[in-house]
Chains A and B, each alone.
Chain A
């Protein structure tokens, strides 16, 4: 942004060296990722692999080696691209964004934090210090997938799913979608409809039409709204199906 002179800050603070901002740790509330956690570190983290394996799966889609080495969780969240992986992950995982400002600390849910493409509810004096990923009931299965024009490009559409099965029925279903709205969204109608239904591929298939309800993606230089919408049920089926397999494996 600065290289194009789209942003010309008078002061720029380098937070790269603040000790502890890049830590991934287990807390009483779940898992906390410091703002400076690099994509590559998240992909390698054993703690994340054990608890939220979808993170590593998603990180494989983030840009390329050198970008994954430098790019951070907070950078991705604050950039608030509706196609990006981290906004989708915190939306899917009911994460909380931890913010430090002149008035002290606060947290924001993804719905509160992401206002529009490239717009967040951050004040100028605020800083994202990390994210909390709350624990989820186990065993569950997760899966991530996306369609991009080339390897590492921003997703045309991205989807992440979390599925928990009890007694052969969906006890919990979460489906997050990126690239189809101003922000990452959850497919609430599908989640509600599937919960309690028999945990089968057929049930997933029957629910897919609900994924595109209320979605109004935009046409842009990369893809038409119609193409994006066509991908939603396809990716939803793929991630829900894989998550189901993993939940019952």
Chain B
């Protein structure tokens, strides 16, 4: 089919280069070419949020981007957050609060939470809910996710849990 395009990028801190079809979705590139299957594809039209990654420190839907757009970029996926032995604090909080069930949407939530903790005040649960509203979870009803994020916000702000 089409010619392939050369791209170089950093994924979870490691440099990579690849030749990709221009039409290849970033999500498919990460999953199929890089083997980073933690980024999940739930809708392919930017609604469900399961494929959320960060590109140059900012969250993005990897199903709405092409792999060629990652060229020169610094990509983070859920695999770069923490490991099973040494989980990131956000992952720990999700476990403590039982904020996941089937786990399919979870990587997208974790990437979103990482960003909003850095960028938003999240003064109350309503603000947390609004900030998370681009991610769909079908199992938890969100209650435990909001509690996990509340705990993380309190830690960030030095507020003790009520």
Contact = CB atoms under 8 A, between A and B. Distances in A.
B45 A64 contact: no
Interface in A1-26: 2-4, 12, 14, 16
A117 interface: no
A151 B131 CA distance: 10
Interface residues of A, number: 17
B68 A65 contact: no
Given A3-B45, A12-B22, A14-B69, A66 B60 contact: yes
Interface string A122-147: 00000000000000000000000000
Interface residues of B, number: 27
Given A12-B22, A14-B68, A16-B69, A66 B49 contact: yes
Instruction: With a 10 A CB-CB cut-off, give which of B23, B46, B52, B65 has the most chain A CB atoms.
Output: B46
Given A3-B44, A14-B69, A66 B52 contact: yes
Interface in B99-143: 112, 115-116, 129-131, 133-135
A151 B130 contact: yes
A163 to B, nearest CB: 28
A69 B134 contact: no
A67 B133 contact: no
Interface of B: 22-23, 25, 44-46, 49, 52, 58-61, 63-66, 68-69, 112, 115-116, 129-131, 133-135
29 contacts: A2-B23, A3-B25, A3-B45, A3-B63, A4-B45, A12-B22, A12-B66, A14-B66, A14-B69, A16-B69, A64-B49, A64-B134, A64-B135, A65-B59, A65-B112, A65-B116, A66-B49, A66-B59, A66-B60, A67-B61, A69-B60, A70-B58, A70-B61, A70-B65, A150-B133, A151-B129, A151-B130, A151-B133, A152-B134
